[in-house]
Chains A and B, each alone.
Chain A
Amino acid sequence: MSADTWRIGKHEMSSRFFLGTGLFPSPLVQQEAISASGAEVLTFAIRRVNLDAVEDDSILQHIEPGAFIFLPNTSGARTADEAVRIARLARASGLSDWVKVEISASERTLLPDPIETLRATEILVREGFTVLPYISDDPIICRKLEEAGAAAIMPGGAPIGTGLGILNPYNIGLIVEEAGVPVIIDAGLGTASDASLAMELGASAVLMNTPVAKAKDPVGMAKAMRMAIEAGRLAYVSGRMPKKRYASASSGMASLIVK
């Protein structure tokens, strides 16, 4: 197979694994997990500096400068205006003009608010951001986000941090089928088979944080996810056999020695 690369904006990538940077047990484990994942894109959140502990390590001190594309998110935002404000702050860092629009409408489920997400995407696209909205697995809202200029669409497999896997493979398949921009499965995955299924359904990439960071061995899980993503992608590209209702023998019945 020739180099199976893909792109968002001007960035051509070979890894199909976006890795989050929250919840890791230590900076060292995080660094090793990043390395094992092969990820080229890392996600971050934007929060206030703790002015009473300014000497505390910035997370960026542990990340090799220039080696990754940074994808800051707008987590914590409840409206489009809040998300736009966070996105502008993130871009002012000079580190990235990519933004993951994440606007939660429910504290319990953290499910995205589709109306506000669409509004924020429209505004940020106009302002020249590379916008990757996190959204529900609804094919229609995904289409509308693409029409609004999203550089990729990122439907969730299940609510953030649940590890429930892909709850609606039919919808994800439909989203992939209809999308003209990369589809990245974001949120809700739990283990390697979930990542593999996402890729077998035709996703361009997978974004994960909790299933790696909260695994017993995050470095081992980062590697497992990387392999699952590669396996799922190769299976998708190679084209699986059709499912059949009844058995069909591998050797046929001709020249059988028993009658």
Chain B
Amino acid sequence: MELIINGSKRELQLESRTLAEVIDKLGLSGKPVVAEVDGEVLVAEQWPAFAVMPGMKIELVHFVGGG
């Protein structure tokens, strides 16, 4: 499925087609990341039930050094 993740097109082979699976496929499971899909913020508890569709815009962000 083609998704737009952090501004770039990305093709992922998905089975359950959930946001949790997307995050797992990207190697981010268990990491302190936050997700936003098409402008909607989704907390980690929502990921396993959230169905992704082709072309969705996904942002995955985290805390970095800053002042």
**Chain A residues with a Cβ under 8 A of chain B:** 20-24, 30, 43-49, 51, 54-55, 58-60, 70, 72-73, 75, 85, 88-90, 92-95, 160, 187, 207-210
Contact = CB atoms under 8 A, between A and B. Distances in A.
12 contacts: A21-B67, A23-B67, A44-B65, A47-B64, A48-B61, A54-B31, A58-B62, A73-B66, A89-B59, A89-B61, A92-B35, A160-B67
- Report which residue of A30, A72, A92 has the largest number of chain B beta carbons within 10 angstroms of its beta carbon: A92
A49 B62 contact: yes
Contacts of A73: 66-67
Interface stretch (B13-21, B36-44, B49-57): B36-44
B27 to A, nearest CB: 4
Contacts of B64: 22, 44-47, 59
Contacts of B60: 48-49, 51
Contacts, number: 103
Q: Which of A22, A51, A160 counts the most chain B CB atoms within 10 A?
A: A51
A59 B63 contact: yes
Given A51-B6, A89-B36, A90-B34, A46 B28 contact: no
Given A20-B67, A48-B7, A92-B34, A54 B28 contact: yes
B67 A93 contact: no
A89 B34 contact: yes
A92 B41 contact: yes
B39 to A, nearest CB: 8
A208 B66 CA distance: 10
A147 B40 CA distance: 29
Contact of A92 (B7, B10, B42, B67): B42
Contact of B32 (A51, A93, A207): A93
Q: Which of A21, A22, A48, A94 has the most CB of B within 10 A?
A: A48
Contacts of A92: 34-35, 41-43
A160 B65 CA distance: 15
Nearest to A209: B67
B33 interface: yes
A57 to B, nearest CB: 10
A44 B66 contact: yes
A47 B62 contact: yes
A89 B6 CA distance: 14
Contacts of B65: 20-24, 30, 44-45, 59
A209 B44 CA distance: 30
Nearest to B44: A94
A72 B41 contact: no
A255 B33 CA distance: 76
A40 B5 CA distance: 35
Contacts of B5: 51
A165 B65 CA distance: 22
A72 B66 CA distance: 8
Interface centre among B8, B33, B44, B67 (most CB of A within 10 A): B67
A59 B67 CA distance: 13
A210 B67 CA distance: 8
Given A89-B34, A92-B43, A95-B32, A48 B66 contact: no
